[in-house]
Structure 1
């Protein structure tokens, strides 16, 4: 468990690096380990500090303090290790280890003290982790059982246990293998066997298919060796093509030879089915391609009518969605599901893409929303997210003629020009002092940049005029980039709302009832928006329908609820700051409830930027008033 140990070290280092005196109790709470383990980690950090530019001093009767002895060495150390998301990774790996252990003890029980000793953490840490495990197990139809005088264990059918274990393998990418159930050499042998099985039978596969197959095989080996448990799932051999059967037979035969595994026809058939579903879902037969393309185009036409987009004419998007929908239907028919461990980040960064995807499926007779998991929904939404990013990129590429007008002699036009070309690489810059601007055809430029205020220029042209400081920061350049995008949107759709304009003082709420769940809060305030006349009747029920598909609560306690259809009377966004929450993973801390007309999708793009800023700095989660909210948004957008 070397990675876990290193992450514990870095958790402790980052706590001390805050520059405050830290006592042992705080270290134990932060690392989630015993006092003995924490003191051992302190010893290791002291040794590391000798060659990495820092020392840890003991402050009698107070705690410990980290001091830099060589700034350059310390900065290098932080650059190499400081970006590790230690707390989240530590807990995730600990949960993986715990579930792995509890599943593999099979019919036996384990005590909390035994788990604490095994994981080298405190008893309260184990108790807190077990509460999270209960929620995870429910998704796999597994049960956490606690029996007095016996202990705890995980119960459920073998097929569900394997699904959980396979997801731990694939979601852990690197983390799980670092637990070293398999040696490096054994892992390489397994990967080589799987690769040869695909290659020898000329099966299509990509990285996702390869990793999922390796995970399936590793879980199979682990269950046979640890618990001697075989799968009890009947598979119809006639449903599977010959290449998939041959690949599975090759893989199982090689595993028998190298690992001494017993022959299991049912295990082989299950592996063959998984290979068949994954490899064939990327091959669209010619005879049905025209039908699928027609359905996809029809759904995109409906989207274009609602959102004022032009997606049905985007050949690349149509092609990608056609193949994805076909693959998705095959997976649904076999009750097979792709996992997406990055769901939260995708949901936060591409909230409007998620909304588009839901409407796309509603207009597509081939699919039903109730058939899709949150993970599959988010994977489908990536196609819309990619198209939206392409549109942004095209706006940037279309900026080809830029006028840089400055009234400051000390301004360095070459430096400023180089900064501007970072975001508009196709731009040709024309540089003039302000007094030289008169007489130029301002409408011939795609963008006019000023280093000093001159309102009369804006009145003389329809070209976007933007004020930029002589030495622009990265934040300024990002704002400039957004303004160019919004200017293009306004040219096509007329005046558009900005996020600040739809965040209204009377729709900012502080919720203090700690007994309310995330969904309770969302429905409560969706009803208030309806009763105040911002949304038509049916808005609350439509929001509830959206939540039934999958929660709109993402990482860090940020929620983004919205209706399935448009009920907007007045563009508005309610914001609910949850105070005194229970702080579990199902608690919202800051909840946005969107009531925006479909064509005003630029608001969602600003929300995505706001969400991204929250991932970097969660300061907004502590706001307590409407004014604080607006100040924060003005800083980041």
Structure 2
């Protein structure tokens, strides 16, 4: 970063000429002026100013040595190259929620090393997220911007955008410096000790969330930022007793004054994130029946088999019981893994959303994306168990290769990693007529088979089994909806793409483009009449625009007339609600094709992770070119 180089040059001499700086930094006069302007915008927060000495050059004036030296330390360096809009928004939220001072656009522009216009554009999304947190941005001419609002809401936003943010930058790292003074393990053990005393149980995620709340409580109390309004709802006496005991212990352990109102808020958090069978036996029975009904409805809709998984049922009961208390007190869990869950488990997230819709309808409250992410993890665990269980069903497997010989033996060895307890036989295609394929539980083939060979489950596989291909085979097995169903092959994925559903540089408005693509799919007989409406309903809940401009919208319910993916590519990306859009894959599948959705998600993830492939796809001008480039990337 040239700013640090400039400061190091100025430190060496009391005054250095403009020409010398331009030569040593390899920059022009205008770039040097801009760099000096950026340095001074940042410097007023970090104790330094670069002065212009007429006809002599530049001078570094350090007026707060402690701040300046902290700024120069390696841990405060903010890498700004390659920051996309989402990361910039995340960092701005991180800065605003920790700063007690007004922050200017100029300061953010210089800190993030982007133009002021970019900051102003990004700030629309910042303000949206702040407002979604029931907070406001106070804008004061000549001073800047700061976050204001209810202290309870500030703490929720703080947890979501500060603690769950991996950044660690100056000048707003106060919370992390504070945590170094707190023995977090000791706090955790003390809290667990009290839970045990009152026979309360807690999941690991909920325990982490409660401890996080306690730490924020301590940090904000030290800053004399107290709860200014909290509508206390009745909780069981034991929760209040635990909250009072932990706060008394904290005040004895640390020199921090905690406001008495914090007891009620902490008690509500504990009530919403712990449970006891003794206290809620009647409620548990009612919720158990409700969840069984919901799982049955999901199975009918997606052709899955979740209702018979007792482990899943118990996990969801344990999750939903305290969840209802959380909703009652307007307290929700934060989920630091949400983005990973959202992108890598897109198909499972869809199930979790349907589960949440039905829960919301029954109990009349809205779940956050973070809460739905935790439910998605329960479903993901279910499918992992089902995958392992289904693999055990295949005792005798036939592998058909085009060549046989050494490649067949290599395939056999690798397949043993997927089916360790199965008997695996390999044959070349010219020996098929001599083989009693009816005696096998599963056929894996590297070449297309005639219809007569499809009396047993068949999976088309690549000749080279890398980690991705092994994972794909496992996914297909996991998502097979019915016994003896012929599974979709990797080649069938390409049958989902259609030339009459391919668009180049279309409408540069995300929602309007989705309406155009959805209505077109309906008109051409691919989708049902409610397809566009269901897609927009899904997007209005949580937008499916992922990183690097890859979007994978889909309806809330799968009910296509004909499986298809509509594709829109934009050589020049556009922005929608501060998210870049480059490629849109509008997914339209029939009921029961959840595993296909997973395979499509894998393609989207590949494009997200490999930006050079995405660049190539986004520049395609014809459907033929698009398919060729996509196949080259995936196969």
Whether contact under 8 Å (1:116, 1:126) holds in the other structure is: yes
Give the aligned partner of residue 568 of structure 2: 576
Give the aligned partner of residue 495 of structure 2: 501
1:331-346 mapped onto 2 (5 Å cutoff):
331-346=326-341
> Match for 1:135 among 128, 131, 142?
128
> Match for 1:189 among 176, 180, 183?
183
Structure 1 residues 352 and 112: CA distance shift in structure 2, 3 A: closer
Return the alpha-carbon distance in structure 1 between the equivalents of residues 216 and 256 of structure 2.
13
Whether contact under 8 Å (1:198, 1:204) holds in the other structure is: no
Give the aligned partner of residue 381 of structure 1: 376
1:234 equivalent in alignment to 2:230: yes
Deviations 1:431-488 (A, max 9, x none): 668888775533323345678x79689749746476764x6544554555566668x5
Structure 1 residues 365 and 250: CA distance shift in structure 2, 3 A: closer
Deviations 1:374-427 (A, max 9, x none): 222332233333323333333333333234577969627765433221222222
Give the aligned partner of residue 253 of structure 1: 248
Q: After TM superposition, give the deviation of residue 220 of structure 1 in Å.
A: 2.7
Give the aligned partner of residue 562 of structure 1: 554
Q: After TM superposition, give the deviation of residue 269 of structure 1 in Å.
A: 2.0
Moved more, 606-615 or 395-404: 395-404
Q: After TM superposition, give the deviation of residue 97 of structure 1 in Å.
A: 4.6
Return the alpha-carbon distance in structure 2 between the equivalents of residues 414 and 535 of structure 1.
44
Moved more, 403-412 or 556-565: 403-412
Return the alpha-carbon distance in structure 2 between the equivalents of residues 187 and 426 of structure 1.
53
**Structure 2 gaps, min length 5:** 5-24, 40-79
Give the aligned partner of residue 8 of structure 1: none
> Match for 1:320 among 315, 324, 339?
315
1:428 equivalent in alignment to 2:423: yes
Give the aligned partner of residue 67 of structure 1: none
The alignment yields a C-alpha RMSD, in angstroms, of 4.2
1:223 equivalent in alignment to 2:220: yes
Whether contact under 8 Å (1:529, 1:535) holds in the other structure is: yes
Return the alpha-carbon distance in structure 1 between the equivalents of residues 404 and 531 of structure 2.
57
Q: After TM superposition, give the deviation of residue 265 of structure 1 in Å.
A: 0.8
Partner SS for 1:411? helix
Structure 1 residues 33 and 256: CA distance shift in structure 2, 3 A: farther
1:614 equivalent in alignment to 2:614: no
Structure 1 residues 548 and 395: CA distance shift in structure 2, 3 A: same
Return the alpha-carbon distance in structure 2 between the equivalents of residues 283 and 554 of structure 1.
44
1:538 equivalent in alignment to 2:537: no
Give the aligned partner of residue 80 of structure 1: none
Q: After TM superposition, give the deviation of residue 171 of structure 1 in Å.
A: 1.1
Structure 1 residues 255 and 311: CA distance shift in structure 2, 3 A: closer
Partner SS for 1:240? coil
Whether contact under 8 Å (1:358, 1:369) holds in the other structure is: no
Return the alpha-carbon distance in structure 1 between the equivalents of residues 38 and 108 of structure 2.
16
1:198 equivalent in alignment to 2:195: no
1:168 equivalent in alignment to 2:161: yes
Return the alpha-carbon distance in structure 1 between the equivalents of residues 521 and 543 of structure 2.
20
1:442-481 mapped onto 2 (5 Å cutoff):
442-447=437-442, 459=453, 462=456, 464=458, 469=463, 472-478=465-471, 481=474
**Structure 1 gaps, min length 5:** 6-22, 38-83
Whether contact under 8 Å (1:284, 1:326) holds in the other structure is: no
Moved more, 560-569 or 378-387: 560-569
Deviations 1:479-513 (A, max 9, x none): 55566668x55754467694322322111123444
1:102-141 mapped onto 2 (5 Å cutoff):
102=99, 104-105=100-101, 109-113=102-106, 119=111, 124=116, 130=123, 132-141=125-134
Partner SS for 1:592? strand
Structure 1 residues 333 and 120: CA distance shift in structure 2, 3 A: closer
1:155 equivalent in alignment to 2:148: yes
Return the alpha-carbon distance in structure 1 between the equivalents of residues 202 and 36 of structure 2.
45
Q: What is the total number of aligned residue pairs between the two structures?
A: 553
Structure 1 residues 361 and 136: CA distance shift in structure 2, 3 A: closer
Q: After TM superposition, give the deviation of residue 365 of structure 1 in Å.
A: 7.8
Partner SS for 2:147? strand
Whether contact under 8 Å (1:512, 1:580) holds in the other structure is: no
Give the aligned partner of residue 598 of structure 2: 605
Give the aligned partner of residue 342 of structure 2: 347
Give the aligned partner of residue 68 of structure 2: none
Deviations 1:8-46 (A, max 9, x none): xxxxxxxxxxxxxxx988xxx9xx999999xxxxxxxxx
Give the aligned partner of residue 550 of structure 1: 542
